[in-house]
Homo-oligomer: A and B are copies of this chain.
Amino acid sequence: MKVRIFDMKKYNICVLGATGLVGSEMLKILIERDFPFENMVLLASSRSAGTVSHAADRDIVVKDADEETFEGIDIALFAGGEIASGDYAAKAVKAGCVVIDNSAYFRMDPEVPLVVPEVNPDALEGHKGIIANPNCSTIQMVAALKPLYDRAGIERVVVATYQSVAGTGKAALEELKNQSADILEGRDARISCYPHRIAFSLIPQIGSFGVNGYSSEEMKMINETKKILGDDSVRVTATTVRVPVEFGHCESVNVQTKTKLSAKEAADILSSAPGVRVYDDPAASVYPMPIVCAGRDEVFVGRIREDLSIDNGIEMWIAADNIRKGAALNAVQIAEELIKRNLI
């Protein structure tokens, strides 16, 4: 879905964290989707400043974010992590910029819309300069939950995730490869990004743990889902797990709806949902997997079946590229939606 810009207005864009995995994907997606940008400012920490990025047939020198005034920039895509978001967002907004922030910093702020454009675009109306991009695992789950919610209501969601290392960043991708090679060749695996070895293993920890025993990633899925659906009565519990996969998050999602949906009804509803692709022919071994969703825009849903343990339950298996729909693409789609609604 490309935005048709009839007035051909172009925007000055800035990407903060432009040298990271999400930032560089944002750049790629802006160009892929012919986003109407005029000037492109790329920002990073002083450590990465000075590198040259080749985008849209231009060589752009990455600047130190500390030296940026954000004057003249219309839209800033922030992918520099929570600390950078805290440091620069207020300054950018003050300079007249709309910030679309990929970090968790502003997500639960009641003044800040938390948006998946296919799910709750109306939340963008009346924004105050900052829009938060939800957590990667949450985005793909709510994309599949919303159409079911609209039709049948949702009582409760039980989710277990299978999350790729790309969510941690470039260093984790290297670590998975290096550890895998070390183990295949009989060497000890060197551990740096995670508390334990990830190659040929699993780690049931994403983020840090609260006193209730839930990890920060699990609490994000619980709280952000309620905020995006705009319904605190939806009950959610989550277990989030890192798996030795490069790109693409998978989720086993058990949904208890208010009224009964057959598996076929659920599949039909999801088939016409925006941004969702039903990929579900298990007898032919067709179901979402990391190798299916990596590099793709859609949220893939399969293994759709009626829960045998309750009357109003649907089981489904969801996969999406966590760097694209789970981060960079969703942020760019928010920018497109802001333009479409004249909110910039």
Contact = CB atoms under 8 A, between A and B. Distances in A.
Contact of A205 (B235, B241, B282, B308): B282
A204 B288 contact: yes
A309 B201 contact: no
Contacts of A196: 285, 289, 291
A182 to B, nearest CB: 11
Given A160-B160, A213-B282, A282-B213, A235 B309 contact: yes
Contacts of A313: 237
A157 B158 CA distance: 11
A237 to B, nearest CB: 4
Contacts of A180: 180, 184, 200
A8 interface: no
Interface secondary structure of A, over-half rule:
mixed
Interface stretch (A41-49, A54-62, A105-113, A245-253): A245-253
B291 A212 contact: no
A197 B291 CA distance: 8
Interface stretch (A80-88, A121-129, A299-307, A334-342): A299-307
A78 interface: no
Nearest to A189: B291
Interface in A208-254: 209, 212-215, 222, 235-237, 239, 241, 243-246, 250, 252, 254
Copies in the complex: 2
A180 B199 CA distance: 10
Interface string A289-323: 11100000000001111111110010101000000
Contacts of A254: 158, 237, 239
A246 B244 CA distance: 12
Contact of A289 (B177, B202, B310): B202
Nearest to A177: B184
A215 to B, nearest CB: 7
Interface string A158-191: 1010100000000000001100110010000000
User: Which 8 pairs across A and B sit closest by C-beta, in order of nearness?
Assistant: A213-B305, A235-B309, A160-B160, A195-B285, A160-B252, A237-B309, A239-B252, A209-B282
A203 interface: yes
Nearest to A244: B244
A309 B252 contact: no
25 contacts: A156-B310, A160-B252, A162-B241, A162-B243, A181-B184, A201-B245, A201-B291, A204-B252, A204-B287, A204-B289, A204-B302, A205-B282, A205-B285, A215-B282, A222-B308, A222-B309, A235-B308, A235-B310, A236-B308, A237-B315, A239-B254, A239-B315, A239-B317, A241-B250, A244-B245
Contacts of A291: 196-197, 201
A263 interface: yes
Contacts of A305: 212-214
A215 B236 CA distance: 25
A307 B237 contact: yes
A283 interface: yes
B235 A204 contact: no
A212 B309 contact: no
A239 B162 contact: no
